[in-house]
Amino acid sequence: MRPLPRDPLRLFASYVHMASAAVRARLGRHRLTMPGGPVVSLTTHGARARAVHLTLASIGAGTVRPSRLIVWIDDEALLAEPPRGLRRLVARGVELRPCEDLGPHKKYFPYVCSLAQHRVPMVTADDDVLYPRRWLETLVAEHVRRPDAVFAHRVNRITVEDDRVLPYDRWERATSAEVTPRNYAVGVKGVLYPPAFLDALRDAGDGFRSVAPGSSDTWLHHRSLRAAVPVLPVTALEGVVFWPVRGLRRSPALLDQNVRAGRNDRVRASLWSPTDSDLVVRGAWTPC
């Protein structure tokens, strides 16, 4: 006999939320986009494309909707014949766009390269999460308050001991509004990037291909260091659950390689100059 889940009530709740998203995706009629919002950009592939409509429906049911909702796809066959659930949402404002296979960088890089000048923020999303109704609203509110900063629902704070940066798996969660170069945005719950930083990412080019092909968060943190753009946590949804889309397998390779096998640390060591390291060790944007 198969063992029961550790938390059957939580598992049941996740399926209830999935069912609700499925109903919105199947029976909803309103557009998932509206003028004035940020751009939301994500990618999908393979079997995950059959369930991404649930994520998109949750985003479109938010208190704030994106002005554009873009799904980047590197598979020509999938782009030519998307699953029915995804195809149905195209009529409600979802854009399916082709891109090359850039790994996790597909979520943002094709979009930042698509405009000569960015005027609205971009928010990255994952294709296997059901986003809370105020997810985008809280990101936008923080952007209005401080339009120069990157905001994320999950931010790690780089741990420094004895003037040495500790390995990634020993970093803690950032929960305060302290402005420090030690803040590192984690893309799992969504990140808002301001327009000026999008221009900086475009101008920085695709150097990640050789040094950070599978470590987009580490590359993006490095670019924020170089551009002197602060990264700050959004705490308004603390305690709110970001329900997973069940039945999808998160790629163990990224977690295993980036965290457990230390790839984030190796990429960081390759990217950072002595000036970058000194900035993080000091923990301040200006000299002490």
Given a cut of 80, whether residue 94 has pLDDT beyond it is yes
Question: Going along 10-115, which residue ranges are E strands?
Answer: 39-43, 68-73, 94-98
Write out the two tokens for 6. Answer: 């550790």
Cβ–Cβ < 8 Å for 48, 82 = no
Identify residue 263 by its one-letter amino acid code: R
Report the distance separating Cα 248 and Cα 19, nearest Å. 15
pTM (predicted TM-score): 0.93
Backbone angles phi, psi at 72, to 5 degrees: -90, 130
What pLDDT is stored for residue 6 in this prediction?
Answer: 62
Look at residue 2 and tell me if it is in a domain. no
Report the distance separating Cα 116 and Cα 199, nearest Å. 8
Q: How many C-beta atoms surround the C-beta of residue 168 within 10 A?
A: 23
Using the structure block, give the residue that is written with the tokens 């120069």: 148
Read off the pLDDT of each residue in 146-152 and give the average, rounded to a whole number.
Answer: 98
Cα 71 vs. chain centroid, distance in angstroms?
13
**CB burial of residue 228 (10 Å; 0-12, 13-18, 19+):** exposed
pLDDT bin (cut points 50, 70, 90) of residue 273 is: very high
Look at residue 288 and tell me if it is in a domain. no
Look at residue 257 and tell me if it is in a domain. yes
Given a cut of 70, whether residue 160 has pLDDT beyond it is yes
| Model confidence pLDDT, tens digit, residues 245-268 | 987 765 555 555 556 557 899 999
Read off the pLDDT of each residue in 232-248 and give the average, rounded to a whole number.
Answer: 91
How far, CA to CA in Å, does 24 sit from each of 29, 53, 131?
Answer: 8, 10, 13
Percentage of residues of the chain with pLDDT beyond 70? 92
Report the distance separating Cα 56 and Cα 158, nearest Å. 32
| Model confidence pLDDT, tens digit, residues 54-84 | 999 999 999 999 999 999 999 999 999 999 9
Write out the two tokens for 69. Answer: 């909702």
Identify residue 142 by its one-letter amino acid code: E
pLDDT bin (cut points 50, 70, 90) of residue 285 is: confident
Identify residue 165 by its one-letter amino acid code: V
Look at residue 287 and tell me if it is in a domain. no
What pLDDT is stored for residue 2 in this prediction?
Answer: 45
Cβ–Cβ < 8 Å for 40, 95 = no
Look at residue 252 and tell me if it is in a domain. yes
Write out the two tokens for 36. Answer: 């004035």
Look at residue 226 and tell me if it is in a domain. yes
CATH number, domain with residue 253: 3.90.550.10
Beta bridge partners of 156: 173, 184
| Model confidence pLDDT, tens digit, residues 101-113 | 999 999 999 999 9
The number of domains in the chain is: 1
Average pLDDT, the chain: 92
For the chain, the C-alpha Rg in angstroms (whole number) is 19
Look at residue 139 and tell me if it is in a domain. yes
Read off the pLDDT of each residue in 108-128 and give the average, rounded to a whole number.
Answer: 97
Cβ–Cβ < 8 Å for 151, 191 = yes
pLDDT bin (cut points 50, 70, 90) of residue 1 is: very low
Given a cut of 70, whether residue 287 has pLDDT beyond it is no
Read off the pLDDT of each residue in 167-174 and give the average, rounded to a whole number.
Answer: 94
Report the distance separating Cα 276 and Cα 227, nearest Å. 11
Look at residue 240 and tell me if it is in a domain. yes
Percentage of residues of the chain with pLDDT beyond 90? 84
Given a cut of 70, whether residue 226 has pLDDT beyond it is yes
Using the structure block, give the residue that is written with the tokens 């790690």: 156
Beta bridge partners of 68: 39
What pLDDT is stored for residue 288 in this prediction?
Answer: 42
Beta bridge partners of 191: 124, 152
> Of 122-126, 210-214, 244-248, which gets the smallest average pLDDT?
244-248
Give CA angle at 174 (170, 176), nearest 5°: 150
In 3-state terms, what secondary structure has residue 281? helix
Per the structure, the complete domain to which residue 270 belongs is given by: 8-282
Report the distance separating Cα 244 and Cα 131, nearest Å. 9
Given a cut of 90, whether residue 21 has pLDDT beyond it is yes
